[in-house]
A and B are shown apart, each in its own frame.
Chain A
Amino acid sequence: MAGKCEKRVLSIQSSVVWGYVGNKTAAFPLQMHGFDVSPINTVQFSNHTEYGHFRGQVLNDTDLDDLVAGLRTNNLLQFSHVLTGYIGSRSFLEKVADVIKELRNNNPNLTYVCDPVMGDGGHLYVPADLVEPYRNTIVPLADILTPNQFELELLTERKVTNEHEALEAMGRLHDKGVGTVVLSSTDFATEGTLVALASTNKESGREVYRISIPKVDATFVGTGDLFACSLLTWLHRDKEIKSAFEKTVATVQAVMARTLTYAKENTSLGTKPGMAAMELQLVQSKADIETPVVTLQATKVSQKSL
């Protein structure tokens, strides 16, 4: 029943005790927008791995089966959305694919938002044997996909070194059945700016938008997770790509700016802010999450470029 499933997200991501990555990043913004969030925490670590030191526990395939079986027994596998992020093993990823198929069976209107986390800047940070199942099993199930430039290359087996190549690669993902593909940042634009691209395949044809984002001299962790859950939210609310794209970028920009301000205020002059200081100021950004202020407009990319 549509009403029964409405605004229920199954979110399969990592969790940390301290800080904001994975489900810690995704849950609060989704809940602020009235989504009932059911998190499956694939790991529980003390903090994210970029700190160097971390401790904690990892879910194995049987654990995932158990949680899903518990939900199934109680007829709780009724969701409107599924959101996946970092997954660490091939077998786990394949099980996640099965779960999504079952959920779609229960609700044919299910929206699957997939962040195909595999690596960045030319480096894999998952085992190499995840690439093939992402490409062939997961991607065809996804309604909305948020790869980065490197992941787009891996999924389409094509080089992406300029906007034209990016748009072509995104078109190939549309051919595989993915309705919406959003590249949250690319590094082939002019010095000092990143370009984000959003491409959606509609009955009326393909629509592509571009947003130019000023580069910030800092590294953030968890912003990809924030991007994906915000895109889920705004596509659901606004039901169209231009506005959803703008508000998603606006949300991430606002949280990043607040985070950077806080980090600088809490770090001695001349020292680089540490990991703890750079944790996303998510809770403090409640107002921006609820009502993002769009300052970076999306411009339509002409059909001729596609």
Chain B
Amino acid sequence: MATHTTNSDELDCRVLSIQSSVVYGYVGNKSATFPLQILGFDVSTINSVQFSNHTGYGKWKGQVLNAEDVSDLFEGLRLNNLLQFSHVLTGYIGKVSFLEKVGQTIAEMKQCNPDLMFVCDPVMGDNGKFYVPQELVPVYRDQIVPQADIVTPNQFELEQLTDMKVNSEEEAFAAIEKLHQSGTKTVVLSSSSLGSNGVLLCLASTAVNGNRQRYRLEMPKLDAIFVGTGDLFAASLLGWSHRDGELKAALEKTIATLQAVIKKTLAYAQKAAGPGNKPTSAQMELRLIQSKSIIENPSIEIRAENVPQS
């Protein structure tokens, strides 16, 4: 039989992922699980919703978990001594009570395992608009993000979390610094419009021995809207941060993964839609399954530049 990893290696790779789920398509846990499994993680999923498809289609149907439901699931795990994870990953959560319950349980898990890594995608909105109740902002700001080891806000979410305007790279790093001050070790702005025209800018900062290591990566802007890419980003970043142990390499591989999956998706969608036609939501679903080898072994084309501390 194949040789086996040691006990501690196994324990090192168990993620609890609390995100939405859809029957058809790739968002939330559907986006995060397969890549993490490919990278060798055991993934335990709490599906905060089960919808037929993502809401971007316009029409969808399904069920939503409430705080009591998630509390029940935690209780079941607790009773069986299964709250043993190396990582927690959170994405879209739609209710204050649910988010608070998640925050409490993460605090409980961190008490039992101080090495627990919490990767938080503080999903609140984009392009100036909320898609969760605004009441979640203080919960994220005060209870959730300070517990996070890695947080992946977008530009809008960074503004909400810090109550600061983010209209330039400088302002972004200043806002990120505020998050460092409240306890978050690593902050990654996965994509922003802070770069020049036609460019999406990723900015990252990690606290190391009281100093900051900062990076920027430029990506070509594509004339298309993708759904589920933020979830893929956070999952990939978790995976590569763990495997590589340092942010620069993890960022490069994460961006490489995203870029490749997006390109494959757009190529498929345009072909399926036909020349001159706008692809449908179904046609634009991430070609995640078809990208298995990319996910396993991303080919780095965009390098991270060091950003010296000003």
* Smallest CB separation, B68 vs chain A (Å): 10
Q: How far, in whole Å, are A18 and B5 apart by their CA atoms in the complex?
A: 20
With an 8 A cutoff between CB atoms, is A234 at the interface?
no
Q: How far, in whole Å, are A63 and B61 apart by their CA atoms in the complex?
A: 9
Could you tell me if B21 and A283 are in contact, using CB atoms closer than 8 angstroms? no
Could you tell me if B60 and A70 are in contact, using CB atoms closer than 8 angstroms? yes
* Smallest CB separation, A204 vs chain B (Å): 35
Given A67-B23, A70-B52, 19 extra CB contacts under 8 A: A17-B44, A17-B45, A17-B77, A18-B82, A19-B44, A34-B290, A41-B21, A41-B50, A56-B69, A66-B63, A67-B51, A71-B23, A71-B24, A74-B57, A76-B53, A283-B41, A284-B40, A286-B37, A286-B38
With an 8 A cutoff between CB atoms, is A47 at the interface?
yes
With an 8 A cutoff between CB atoms, is B72 at the interface?
yes
With an 8 A cutoff between CB atoms, is A303 at the interface?
no
Residues in chain B near residue A276, CB distance under 8 A: 80-82
- The contact of A15 among B37, B47, B82, by CB within 8 Å, is B47
Could you tell me if A75 and B69 are in contact, using CB atoms closer than 8 angstroms? no
* Smallest CB separation, A72 vs chain B (Å): 9
Residue of A whose beta carbon sits closest to that of B14: A18
Q: List 10 A-B contacts (CB under 8 A).
A: A28-B37, A31-B292, A40-B50, A45-B73, A51-B80, A59-B63, A66-B63, A67-B52, A258-B2, A288-B2
Q: How far, in whole Å, are A39 and B282 apart by their CA atoms in the complex?
A: 16
Q: How far, in whole Å, are A287 and B62 apart by their CA atoms in the complex?
A: 35
Could you tell me if A28 and B34 are in contact, using CB atoms closer than 8 angstroms? yes
Could you tell me if B80 and A69 are in contact, using CB atoms closer than 8 angstroms? no
With an 8 A cutoff between CB atoms, is A265 at the interface?
yes
Contact status of A76 and B76, CB under 8 A, knowing A67-B52, A283-B40: no
Residue of A whose beta carbon sits closest to that of B63: A63
Could you tell me if A70 and B62 are in contact, using CB atoms closer than 8 angstroms? yes
Residues in chain A near residue B129, CB distance under 8 A: none
Could you tell me if A261 and B76 are in contact, using CB atoms closer than 8 angstroms? no
A-B contact count (CB 8 A): 149
Q: How large is the interface on B (under 10, 10 to 19, 20 to 34, 35 or more residues)?
A: 35 or more
Residue of A whose beta carbon sits closest to that of B58: A74
Enumerate A5-36 residues with CB–CB distance to B below 8 Å: 10, 15, 17-19, 24, 27-28, 31-32, 34-36
- The contact of A18 among B21, B65, B75, B77, by CB within 8 Å, is B77
Chain B CB within 10 Å — which of A10, A17, A284, A288 has the most?
A: A17
Enumerate B157-198 residues with CB–CB distance to A below 8 Å: none
Q: How far, in whole Å, are A257 and B75 apart by their CA atoms in the complex?
A: 31
Residues in chain B near residue A46, CB distance under 8 A: 72-77, 79-80, 82
* Smallest CB separation, A136 vs chain B (Å): 28
With an 8 A cutoff between CB atoms, is B1 at the interface?
yes
Could you tell me if A47 and B4 are in contact, using CB atoms closer than 8 angstroms? no
Residues in chain B near residue A44, CB distance under 8 A: 46-47, 50, 65, 73
With an 8 A cutoff between CB atoms, is A55 at the interface?
yes
With an 8 A cutoff between CB atoms, is B10 at the interface?
yes
Residues in chain A near residue B57, CB distance under 8 A: 74
Could you tell me if A73 and B59 are in contact, using CB atoms closer than 8 angstroms? yes
With an 8 A cutoff between CB atoms, is A262 at the interface?
yes
- The contact of B62 among A27, A28, A45, A66, by CB within 8 Å, is A66
Residues in chain A near residue B46, CB distance under 8 A: 17, 44
Residues in chain B near residue A288, CB distance under 8 A: 2
Contact status of A45 and B76, CB under 8 A, knowing A34-B289, A70-B59, A74-B59: yes
Could you tell me if B82 and A56 are in contact, using CB atoms closer than 8 angstroms? no
Residues in chain B near residue A18, CB distance under 8 A: 44, 77, 80, 82
Residues in chain B near residue A161, CB distance under 8 A: none
With an 8 A cutoff between CB atoms, is A299 at the interface?
no
Contact status of A74 and B282, CB under 8 A, knowing A63-B63, A67-B52: yes
Could you tell me if A47 and B47 are in contact, using CB atoms closer than 8 angstroms? no
With an 8 A cutoff between CB atoms, is B7 at the interface?
yes
- The contact of A266 among B7, B51, B60, by CB within 8 Å, is B7
Residues in chain B near residue A40, CB distance under 8 A: 23, 50
Contact status of A31 and B289, CB under 8 A, knowing A74-B53, A258-B1: yes
- The contact of B292 among A27, A32, A75, by CB within 8 Å, is A32
Q: How far, in whole Å, are A45 and B44 apart by their CA atoms in the complex?
A: 11
With an 8 A cutoff between CB atoms, is B12 at the interface?
no
Could you tell me if A55 and B23 are in contact, using CB atoms closer than 8 angstroms? no
* Smallest CB separation, B167 vs chain A (Å): 37
Interface string of A73-84 (1 = CB under 8 A from B): 111100000000
